[in-house]
Amino acid sequence: MADVVDLRARTERLLASDRLTAPTRAALRARLDRRYDAPRLFDAVQMQTLGAVSARLIPDPDLAAAIDLAGALDAALADGEGDGWRYADAPPDQRMYALGLDALNAAALDRFASPFSDLEPANQDGLLANAAEGGLDIAGGNGGRWFEELLCALVELYYAHPLVQVAIGYDGMADAHGVQAVSLAEVAKEDASLAP
């Protein structure tokens, strides 16, 4: 599990350093500081389901919770952001995600008489495995596609966040000095405050 307080401190030091260009710093700062007050697309039950799904699919639930992946996906979809394509037989992204969350929660209620967000992790994982195999009834058999799209969106949002980038030692954002500083590990040798 990530020490989110330490990651935030390291990320703040990186953002304050001369390692980033101004546009990169501004983009990462916006991602780090963004807060999601209220859902704009999903209802309360869909948001609870999405939060629980995120906690099961992302390898570090503490870090995923600090980032608020459910809020980030809700905001992105409400703003019309996405990957720019969809399967021809699938509904538009906003509708597809909502249908999938509803179907997943309905499957939990049907099988366990409890909402997905309240299930034990093993039961959540079983329902997600079923969804990955196309076992949810979503708009003409798009259950597997829904899961694929959801997983891709969550992974993209997760790894685009500066806390995660610092946690995994990603150095692509340190763009101010070109390739002279080849990794954050090398930078950390010069500047101990950036070291893990």
Q: What is the mean pLDDT of residues 167-190?
A: 70
Spatial CA neighbour of 130 closest among 153, 111, 156: 111
pTM (two decimals): 0.85
State the pLDDT at residue 145.
Answer: 85
Encoding tokens for residue 126?
């079983």
* CB-CB contact of 55 with 61 (8 Å): yes
Q: In which band, very low, low, confident or very high, does the pLDDT at 139 lie, cut at 50, 70 and 90?
A: low
Number of domains within the chain: 1
Q: What is the pLDDT of residues 25-61, one digit of tens each?
A: 999 999 999 999 899 999 999 999 999 999 999 888 7
Residue 64 backbone class (left: φ over 0; alpha: ψ -120 to 50; beta: rest): alpha
CA distance 150 to 101: 10
Burial of 67 (0-12, 13-18, 19+ CB in 10 A): buried
Find how far residue 163's CA is from the centre of its chain: 12
Q: In which band, very low, low, confident or very high, does the pLDDT at 189 lie, cut at 50, 70 and 90?
A: low
pLDDT beyond 80 at 177:
no
CA distance 103 to 97: 10
Q: What is the pLDDT of residues 60-97, one digit of tens each?
A: 878 877 899 999 999 999 998 877 777 777 788 889 89
* CB-CB contact of 171 with 179 (8 Å): no
Cβ-proximal residues to 80 (8 Å cutoff; 6+ apart), any chain = none
Among the residue ranges 14-18, 93-97, 146-150, 187-191, the one predicted with the least confidence is: 187-191
Among the residue ranges 50-64, 66-80, 112-126, 134-148, the one predicted with the least confidence is: 134-148
Mean pLDDT of the chain: 87
Q: For every residue of 17-37, which 3-state class applies, written as one string?
A: CCCCCHHHHHHHHHHHHCCCC
Diameter over CA atoms, the chain: 58
Domain containing 94: what range?
A: 4-194
